[in-house]
Amino acid sequence: MNDDKAECGKLSTLLQQLGQDLDQYLQFDYPDAMQNASRWHQALEQPLPEEGIGIQNVMAEMGRHLIPNGSPIPHPGCTAFITTGTTSIGALANLASAVAAPQRMSLTAFNFLEELSLQWMVEMFELPPEMKGLYSSGGSIANIVALGAARQQTFEQRLGIDPGKEGIQHPCRIYATEASHHTIHRAAAVLGLGRNAVITIASDTIGRMSTEALQRQLEVDASTPFVPVAIVANAGTTSTGTIDPLRKIGEIAHHYSIWFHIDGAYGLPGILDPQIHHLYDGLSLADSVIVDPHKWLGAPVGIGATFVRDRNILQRAFTQEATDYLEGSMTNNDIQHSMDNLGVPYSDFGLELSAPSRGAVVWALIREIGKTGLRERVCRHNAMARHIAKRAHAHPNLEVVQEPTLSICCFRYITNEWANLNELNQRIHRQLVHNNRNIPSTALVRGILAIRPCFIGARTTWQHANDLVDEVIDIGQNITNRKNHK
């Protein structure tokens, strides 16, 4: 007899109900959440319930007020973010983990898949084969973990200091371009280096790091007290999908004995596209690499991964001071129960103690479609970006702002009837968003405001890519005609 008020079972019935509501949502025939905001505010804004309403009523409220007023991100025409709606198996494996293995530790099948799925990614994305990984909540934390490893190794080797233990009292440098993700700056702040430690290296006309500028800066810094903690290269910048010259940067990093970090949160899976595979040359020189399975792999948000050559560095950087484990301390050969050993000590390699079993989700995503399925997705999305560029080149009122490298195409509407094209394209973008069919973002590329679709979602089809271009042309013509008739 369980006195708890919460339902703890009946999942087969409840999931059927939830599945119907979610399938309905995935028809995307609801208006945007803001259209009905007053209604759902009113329904949901309840005082703290003294008494619960029971699971059936909660399920009903979810189906009526919550799910229909969700996010446009999973919509196949939404290309604004690099995160996307999860595929079905991603959602299901997430749920399976939540129910059957709430922690990644101990010798369960889930714990096994944590390591196996990380190894699969090492192989699939052609990382140095000795690399080992660690899951975290996303690219932000994955970058902190990687740069924490960089800090640890740098201080140990250059100064004989354990920075994880002693803290740091030295001014530091992290070398990155302007296009680097700002989580690099936040990582520098969190790791005690300070955001100012991130120094901007000039880039070429398409945003790739200038290796001459990098080398000049390193020469200047060599005669200063700055400790060079890491050089950060991008394998796919967030705004334009640009890939830095990895081999050249890696060789410079090795020459100066500086940690070489590659941020592939978005772009690492691009290596599967034979047309751009060569741009990843130099990946083998990396000391750390990150990738976000919650981007191109289609995982639900909350899954990033860091890879390093030696996880012992992570352990020294992030371990908690020794505790007396009550569970999982068995080290002899007498392991007969999943609780006899905690398995790989992931919680000592990063920032999280309690953490979900994310590996099972990544395993399921890869197991479902295989490397071939992921390659097809990546190639399709990259081809969509190139197709948009081709259409833009062919149309008198469109202009390619930057040729695509990956699945991002930055383009804009042009006409000599409008003086401020940034303002015009901003207006076109607002109209696109309000129309609620094709929702790209904008990006400022060397001062030019571009319309920026990033094709990443498994639901997005060629039709959506073409519709976006058609709609931009329509809206652009409408806005400029309206002005002429005034």
Beginning with the edge strand found earlier in the chain, give each strand of the sheet holding 288-291 in spatial order. 132-136, 304-308, 288-291, 260-263, 227-234, 172-177, 198-201
Nearest-CB residue for ligand PLP: 139
In the list 86, 94, 111, 140, the residue contacting ligand PLP (rule: CB under 6 A) is 140
Distances (CA, A) of 476 to 87, 247, 274, 389: 34, 42, 35, 17
Looking at 82, 191, 232, 388, which residue binds ligand PLP (CB under 6 A)? 82
What minimum distance in Å lies between the beta carbon of 85 and ligand PLP? 15
Phi first, then psi: give them for residue 257, nearest 5 degrees. 55, 50
Residue number with CB closer to ligand PLP (341 or 407): 407
* Residue (of 480, 436, 478, 453) closest to 391 by Cα position: 453
Q: Which residue has the tokens 């690492």?
A: 268
Instruction: Name residues whose C-beta falls within 8 Å of residue 81's C-beta, 6 or more positions apart in sequence.
Output: 73, 441, 454
278 burial via Cβ count (<10 Å: 0-12, 13-18, 19+): exposed
Query: Candidates 134-142, 197-205, 391-399, 478-486 — which segment interacts with ligand PLP by CB under 6 A?
Result: 134-142
CA distance 79 to 455: 6
- Interface with ligand PLP, residue 239, by CB under 6 A: no
Number of residues that bind ligand PLP (CB under 6 A): 13
Least distance from ligand PLP to the Cβ atom of residue 82, Å: 5
Nearer to ligand PLP, 250 or 269 (CB): 269
CB 100 to ligand PLP: min, Å: 25
Quote the tokens at residue 76. Answer: 């196949």
344 Cβ contact list (under 8 Å, min separation 6):
111, 114, 115
Enumerate the β-bridge partners of residue 173.
228
Looking at the Cβ atoms of 81 and 411, the one nearer to ligand PLP is 81
CB of 366 to ligand PLP, least distance (A): 19
Which residues in 163-259 belong to E strands, given as ranges? 172-177, 198-201, 227-234
Q: Which is nearer to ligand PLP, 273 or 471 (CB)?
A: 273
Of 120, 232, 248, 263, the residue at the interface with ligand PLP (CB under 6 A) is: 263
The Cα–Cα gap between 66 and 306 comes to: 34
Point out which span in 40-48, 135-143, 147-155, 207-215 binds ligand PLP (CB under 6 A): 135-143
CB of 365 to ligand PLP, least distance (A): 16
Which residues, 295 to 314, sit near ligand PLP by CB under 6 A?
304
- From the list 164-172, 248-256, 261-269, 384-392, the region that binds ligand PLP by CB under 6 A is 261-269
What's the one-letter identity of residue 325?
Y
Dihedral angle of Cα 449, 455, 461, 463, to the nearest 10 degrees: 10
Encoded tokens for 50: 């003294």
Closer CB to ligand PLP, residue 143 or residue 217?
Answer: 143
Residue 481 φ then ψ, to 5°: -65, -45
Angle at which helices 311-318 and 139-159 cross, to 10°: 90
Contact between 244 and ligand PLP (CB under 6 A)?
A: no
Q: Mask: binding to ligand PLP, 264-293, rule CB under 6 A, as x and -?
A: -xx-------------------------x-
Q: Which stretch binds ligand PLP (CB under 6 A): 138-146, 250-258, 278-286, 388-396?
A: 138-146
Q: Which of residues 312-371 bind ligand PLP (CB under 6 A)?
A: none
We find the least distance from the C-beta atom of residue 75 to ligand PLP, in angstroms, to be 19
CA 416/CA 129 separation, integer angstroms:
54
Q: Which residues bind ligand PLP (CB under 6 A)?
A: 82, 138-140, 181, 183, 234, 238, 263, 265-266, 292, 304
